[in-house]
Amino acid sequence: MNELVNLRAEAASLAAELGPTLCEMGEDDALRASVRALGEAGLLRWTVPASHGGEATELCGPETVSVRALSAIRDELAYEHGVLDLAFIMQGLGSFPIALSGNAAVAAEVLPKVAAGECVAAFAVTEEGAGSSLGEVATTAERDGDDWKLTGKKTYISNAGVADRYTVLARTGEGEAILFSVPESVVKVERFEVLAPHPIGEVILEGASVPDSARLGDVGAGLDIALANLGRFRTSVAAAACGFARRALDEAVSHLSEREQFGRKLSKFQGLRFEIAEMDARLRAAQLLVDEAAERLDEGAEATSEVARAKLIATETAGWICDRAVQHHGGLGVKRGTVVERLYREERALRIYEGTSEVQKLILAKEIFDKE
């Protein structure tokens, strides 16, 4: 696994160099600077299958992306900065449906640019009425000669307003799910802010016209492709959570080792020592779940339960660890600009996107009770 060790080192070094600068930038500039730097460093090649200009590796087949590689990179990027992590993974999440769909022309046009950081990708499936329940997407795709007209409103779309290409899930008049690769020129964007820096907003389609050649996969296959995309990338959300938690633990250890109260280092108080030990043990358990899920996915094995466990436990554990690290810092823990304060905000959304914690429990319970 030298390849993964080297990859981690590469990602960590880039992140350490870039992280402090990103903290000084607005979210859009930070996103663009991250995509540029990740592209130049060659790391974005891991977000695209080797068969479409991505990194050639023995970790997985040429038609897919290595979840172990994505996870290793995300863990290291998230350790330094949330937007850097987001910039990396959205290139994959936003573009992998193109590879999955078998649309060779769009793949040849878009994927090499995604891998080079010359095209910013987004994945637009969520709507006001279709969050956890993606089957209820109401955006319509209406045939118009050789073209399609898309009408609807997507919300919570990461990279909205920064992306060059959106993968959009819609529905035909007959109710069949259908996916398109949509250029930014035909959409309108309305931005809003979330807890931590994160370019995000609504993507509005007002009869947006796209040619049939922009369709990703068969009419009726849209939801399956979207879900397969999420299935491939969800484990890496757990890995990013581990990166945030690892940083929070390091920050807590370092603060407790330096700060004195009652005439002693805080690290000498048993209550705090026990908590650090528990943070360490829980983090390791989360990391092992990520490794298990990622390995099975790379081997092409069935991994529904493994992925659900990893996403649920890693993101919830990271939430707990970041919260304890804030507590260990006292007032400093909530002071803007402190690392643990930023981590506390950055980690929160990971328990919500790409399937909430409750959705992971639904999946796992279904595997336990209802599997044939």
Ligand X SMILES: Cc1cc2nc3c(=O)[nH]c(=O)nc-3n(C[C@H](O)[C@H](O)[C@H](O)COP(=O)(O)OP(=O)(O)OC[C@H]3O[C@@H](n4cnc5c(N)ncnc54)[C@H](O)[C@@H]3O)c2cc1C
To ligand X, the closest distance from the beta carbon of 222 in angstroms equals 13
Query: Is 6 a binder of ligand X (CB under 6 A)?
Result: no
Q: Please, which of residues 186-225 interact with ligand X by CB under 6 A?
A: 194, 198, 200
Question: Of the candidates 278, 262, 264, which has an alpha carbon nearest to the alpha carbon of residue 325?
Answer: 278
Residue 140 pairs with which residues in a beta bridge?
Answer: 151, 171
CB of 91 to ligand X, least distance (A): 12
Pair of tokens at residue 223: 């939801």
Q: Is 294 left (phi over 0), alpha (psi -120 to 50) or beta?
A: alpha
For residue 372, indicate whether it is catalytic: no
Q: Which of 341, 346, 347, 354 is catalytic?
A: 354
Q: Can residue 358 be called a binding residue for ligand X (CB under 6 A)?
A: yes
Residue nearest ligand X by beta-carbon distance: 131
In whole angstroms, the minimum distance from the beta carbon of 122 to ligand X comes to 6
Q: How far apart are CA 99 and CA 104, in angstroms?
A: 8
Shortest approach of ligand X to residue 121 CB, angstroms? 10
Q: Does 74 bind ligand X (CB under 6 A)?
A: no
> Which position among 248, 353, 363, 364 is part of the footprint of ligand X (CB under 6 A)?
353
Please say which residue, 234 or 255, places its beta carbon nearer to ligand X.
234
> Residue 53 and residue 66: Cα distance in Å, rounded?
14
Q: 3-state DSSP: the chain helix, strand, coil percent, rounded to 5?
A: 60, 15, 25
In sequence order, which residues have a C-beta less than 8 Å from that of residue 253 and are 6 or more positions away? 267, 276
Kind of pairing, strands 165-172 and 121-124? Answer: parallel
Binding to ligand X, residues 107-166 (CB under 6 A): 123-126, 131-132, 156-158
Q: CB–CB of 97/231 below 8 Å?
A: no
Tokens 């290139």 appear where? Answer: 91
Quote the least distance from Cβ 225 to ligand X, whole Å.
13
The residues annotated with a catalytic role in the active site are 354
- Site of interaction with ligand X (CB under 6 A): 123-126, 131-132, 156-158, 194, 198, 200, 349, 352-354, 356, 358-359, 362
